[in-house]
Amino acid sequence: MQLTDFFIGTEYTIIDALKQIDKNSKGIVYVSDNGLLRGSLTDGDVRRHILNKGSLGVSVTEIMNCEPVFCYLEDKGNAQDIMLKHRIRSLPILDAENHIIDVVFINEQPAPEKEQLHIPVVIMAGGKGTRLYPYTQILPKPLIPIGDKTITEHIMSHFREYGCSHFDMIVNYKKNFIKSYFLDNENQYDVSFVEEKEFLGTGGGLKLLTGRYTSSFFMTNCDILIEEDYAKILKYHKDSRNIITMVCAEKNMVIPYGTVEVSENGQAVFLKEKPSLSFVTNTGFYVIEPEFVDMIPDATFTLITDVIQECIDKGKRVGVYTISEDKWLDMGQMEEMEKMKKRLNL
């Protein structure tokens, strides 16, 4: 990586800055004028600009920080302390004439070891994936590639980081494709296959695992990826003594129309242009106790959400572990699949 990857001129636009930030992978660029430091621009600055409906075609000078933290060459030895004091991760080094001659970065601490959980994982992989037609008319949804791996392998890789290496996969649609792929896979996944003879839904499929577990286990749909600390999710579940914990994401959606509130006699009461809605949605990722499986009826098409509602109605503890929207990657629809590829840099 070259030093010039962290600079951009005052004549450039915000979209140019985004490209430079993407290139250097450090989340920041420094704005210069003939080598003189004029400001800084972070990916967070750009996000806030977009949220305020700002144009990406305007000059970087419109949103840059005009007073970035810096130090002179003679103080470079104190750069780490300066960054810690100001809670920043990079620092431009200037000569006596305020020309940028270097950029230093805070000493990165090694990522902490992930807690090893060693509990089983159920992957629901029996559906037809109708929202992904025509792809799923040829390949079953669990085998659709995201980069050089299938979506299911991405899911497994995340769980393996937490010591969860055994997977029970519930299969139905194109099940022989799925079984052959994983049995012949050079990565040697520890997978057991549970076959549905007919479509039983997310609850009915889970019922086939009755008696298999004696303690908590994870369950996930085969078309989502949750980038969260699985150990924290499990701890929350156990500390709360839940029968099931749903991992849910906070979603924000802007209605692309002006809305009108109307009175009973047909008069307009209130108008709001393009209102924003916030809500919490189920991601399809759960921590479950064996007792929950016992509540599912035998050999009956059942949705897991129906059983969850029954638990709520009976006063059993149903937990919600909330994550931010950007921690939930969904492959259930064509548009979302493309977003997942970009997010994973594939």
pLDDT tens-digit map of 121-155: 999 998 887 777 777 778 888 898 888 888 899 99
Instruction: Give the H or E element holding residue 151.
Output: helix 151-160
pTM for the structure as a whole: 0.67
The whole-number average pLDDT for the span 218-240 is: 94
- Is residue 230 within 8 Å of residue 323, measured between CB atoms? no
- Is residue 265 within 8 Å of residue 257, measured between CB atoms? no
Percentages helix, strand, coil for the chain (3-state, rounded to 5) are: 35, 30, 35
The whole-number average pLDDT for the span 295-308 is: 96
List the one residue out of 232, 213, 223, 199 whose CA is nearest residue 283: 223
- Is residue 12 within 8 Å of residue 32, measured between CB atoms? no
What does the angle CA 330 – CA 334 – CA 337 come to, to the nearest 5 degrees?
40
Helix/strand/coil for 252: strand
List the one residue out of 277, 283, 279, 230 whose CA is nearest residue 250: 279
Dig out the tokens for 330 from the structure.
């969904």
Question: What domains sit in the chain, N to C, each tagged with a CATH number?
Answer: 3-105 (3.10.580.10), 121-343 (3.90.550.10)
Structure confidence by residue, pLDDT tens digits, 152-181: 999 999 999 999 999 999 999 999 999 999
pLDDT > 70? residue 336: no
Dist. CA 289–CA 217, nearest whole Å: 7
- Is residue 123 within 8 Å of residue 167, measured between CB atoms? yes
List the one residue out of 92, 100, 124 whose CA is nearest residue 34: 100
Average pLDDT of every residue of the chain? 89
How many other C-beta atoms can be found within 10 angstroms of the C-beta atom of residue 97?
A: 8
Using pLDDT thresholds of 50, 70 and 90, give the confidence band for residue 231. very high
The whole-number average pLDDT for the span 33-48 is: 89
pLDDT attached to residue 188:
79
pLDDT attached to residue 332:
65
- Residue with tokens 């420094």, as numbered in its chain: 30
CA distances from 247 to 112, 157, 187, 259 (A): 23, 19, 28, 31
Using pLDDT thresholds of 50, 70 and 90, give the confidence band for residue 217. very high
